């Protein structure tokens, strides 16, 4: 993004779902195997989350993630937020999907995770 490499990863302090944060590493090198990876911080998601990914739509970037915190209805749902840069979120998060179908509620867990975008015809 913007000529740099970014890695979005999930970390916690050992406290489980409630302490999960999505963090960002940045590398300015043209080759991601070279250069230094710099920690840019944890993203300011309104709820703990994981599985962060970025969508570019036109000239704007959006961040999608699996957010936690709606127990007992469900364990996680997919949210989207605008990005002001690759490591800063802006505005409110918007719920895209929540587990409502029986196939999303297997083994006593109601979970939507792992957002991914597919672009058809470019």
pTM for this model (two decimals): 0.90
Q: How confident is the model at residue 27 (pLDDT cuts 50, 70, 90)?
A: very high
Q: How confident is the model at residue 115 (pLDDT cuts 50, 70, 90)?
A: very high
The token pair at 120 is 């058809």
Mean pLDDT of the 9-36 span = 93
What's the pLDDT tens digit per position in 53-99? 999 998 999 999 999 877 677 889 999 999 999 999 999 999 999 99
| Helix ranges, the chain (H) | none
Provide the 10 A C-beta neighbour count for residue 76: 28
Rounded Cα–Cα distance for residues 97 and 109 (Å): 15
Phi/psi of residue 62, nearest 5 degrees:
-130, 145
Average pLDDT, the chain: 92
Whether the CA torsion 101, 108, 52, 118 is positive or negative: it is negative
């Amino acid at each position: 993004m913007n000529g740099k490499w970014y890695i979005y990863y999930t970390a916690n302090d050992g406290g489980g779902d409630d302490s999960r944060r999505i963090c960002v590493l940045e590398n300015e090198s043209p080759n991601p195997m070279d250069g230094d990876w710099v920690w840019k911080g944890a993203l300011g998601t309104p709820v703990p989350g994981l599985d962060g990914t970025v969508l570019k739509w036109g000239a704007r970037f959006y961040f999608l993630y699996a957010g936690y915190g709606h127990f007992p209805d469900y364990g996680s749902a997919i949210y989207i937020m605008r990005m002001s840069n690759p490591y800063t979120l802006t505005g409110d998060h918007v719920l895209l999907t929540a587990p409502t179908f029986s196939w999303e509620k297997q083994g006593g867990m109601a979970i939507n995770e792992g957002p991914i975008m597919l672009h058809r015809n470019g």
